[in-house]
Amino acid sequence: MFKIGDFSKMCKVTIKALRYYENKDLIKPSYIDKTNGYRYYESKQLLEISRIISLKQIGLSIDEIKRIIKENEPLDNILINKKEELQNTINEYNYQLSKINYLLEERDMKEEIFEKIIPAYYVYYKEGVLKDYSEASNFIQQSGIECLKLNPNIKCVEPDYCFVNYLDKEYKDTNIKIRYSQAVIKENEPFKENNSIKFMEIPETKCICIYHKGSYNELGISYGKIMKYIEDNKLEIIDYPRECYIDGIWNKENIEDWLTEIQVPIK
């Protein structure tokens, strides 16, 4: 048998680590001298400690190693889970790296692209067709008026969240299909609906976003940037983009101060 110091040198594991593994019931000394507390290990335990080190080097936690060694959990089960965990980490690092590269390439850009999670909401919505985009503001206002007449006590969430979806499969100048949605506080009793005002739950959604400053006529520039970013990073769009009008003609006199957030839902 070998004293703990000699065993430590043979397996190239510190005494501190050996005592830690002992406390975690992973590997215990073969013999402990009751008079002086000296710990002794056998040569066959070199194989045991090497297995612990090998499993630790591939990133398994002490608890996972213990489940394999002490509880005989199949190694494959834990390795499959670890592989998925590592792949998710790799994907996240790749995403961060691609964003760094994007920022390095776009040093002069005025707008930054970012990802965020939009929480689940309960919304009222109205769909319709616009003759042209100049009717969008009136459509939004009339939607609110119509919903309020049906449900006088309805309350919007705070902070406010509302957005517009354009539902055509391609860009159109006229006869534009639109949906306006406004997040509201859900009541115990169902809200009243009619042929145009409806209610629905929208789930939590991951979105790639960009803030657009200025005229709506130049929104296409921001859409181009965000779509290029999505394509470059091989992201999958799962729903219509959302346009959130934060500042506009209703509160900003200068068009250059208008602020719109484009949110593109992705998987």
What does the alpha-carbon distance between residue 85 and residue 58 come to, in Å, rounded to a whole number?
12
User: Which pLDDT score is estimated for 249?
Assistant: 86
pTM of the model: 0.61
Cα-Cα-Cα-Cα torsion 169, 172, 174, 176, nearest 10 degrees, comes to 30
Can you tell me which residue has the tokens 């995403």? Answer: 95
- Using one digit for the tens of pLDDT, what is the confidence trace for 51-86? 999 999 999 999 999 999 888 899 898 999 899 888
Asked if residue 259 lies in contact with residue 238, where contact means CB atoms within 8 angstroms, the answer is: no
**% of the chain residues with pLDDT over 70:** 95
Strand runs labelled E in the chain? 2-3, 31-32, 39-41, 113-118, 121-130, 162-166, 176-184, 197-202, 205-213, 242-247, 259-266
Quote the mean pLDDT of the chain: 91
Q: Which amino acid is at 201?
A: E
Is the pLDDT confidence value at 101 over 90? no
User: Which pLDDT score is estimated for 200?
Assistant: 97
User: Which pLDDT score is estimated for 109?
Assistant: 45
